[in-house]
Amino acid sequence: MTSFTEENYLKAIFHLCENKNGLAVSTNELAEITQTRAASVSDMLRRLSEKELILYKKYQGVTLTEEGKSIALKIIRKHRLWEVFLVEKLGFGWDEIHEIAEELEHIDSKVLTERLDNFLGNPKFDPHGDPIPDEKGNMPSQVSFKLSEAVINTELVMLGVSEDSAPFLQHLDKLSLHLGAKLRVLDVSGYDQSLHIEINKAGTIHISKEVACSILVSKK
């Protein structure tokens, strides 16, 4: 059995690896993301390694074994399914769900997960646009790029966000930037790289480079 804590570590390793294209994750990175000290991480890595959930060479960072990856994907599946539930069924905003899903993701019942998935209509993406792995851990793929890298005047669709802090998501809400919105970059400032964009052919707004970097889009 994997504990609540072990599951959080595996998930953190998975996410960090993902952002680094498979490169090994460092102790300090994990300490930061799990809100603990490096010493605690070292100790946990030793234990996860004994359980063969990670590949770990002292001082050389860590990656997941197949089994570790499989567990991480199951947690991520549950996290994202519960997020869909919270938004679609209970009417939560996308900025309010992360902490609750952090707890729900550890509920240990295969049949519950599969029934929930069905109840929700087998969604492929969560409310932040993140892909929901299937029972076997396969992620639906979706080609997307940062809004900040879009070609001017191209028709775009907003598919996701790469940050999910509440303040960021609330900021997007204020600007009416929701998943599915049709976007078009009208202009990029030469001074601060802020973007002037059109939303749903209706109005236009200005957004900072930082915001544009965290918005994921595809060509329409």
- The footprint of a copy of itself (CB under 8 A) covers 86, 89-92, 96, 99-100, 103-104, 106-109, 111-112, 115-116, 119
Dist. CA 79–CA 175, nearest whole Å: 27
Binding residues vs Mn ion (CB under 5 A): 8, 83, 102, 126, 128, 130
Distance of closest approach, residue 96 Cβ to a copy of itself, in angstroms? 8
Residues 43-72 contacting DNA, CB under 7 A: 43-47, 56, 58-61
Residue 1 interacts with, from DNA, Mn ion, a copy of itself, none (CB under 5-8 Å by kind) = none
Q: Which of 45, 43, 67 is nearest to 56 (CA)?
A: 45
DSSP-based helix, strand, coil % in the chain, nearest 5: 45, 20, 40
Residues 119-158 that bind DNA (CB under 7 A): none
| 41, interface contact from DNA, Mn ion, a copy of itself, none, CB < 5-8 Å by kind | DNA
- The string of DSSP letters for 182-207 reads EEEEEEE-TTT--EEEEETTTEEEEE
**Distance, CA of 105 to CA of 88 (rounded, Å):** 17
Binding site for DNA (CB under 7 A): 3-6, 26-29, 34-47, 56, 58-61
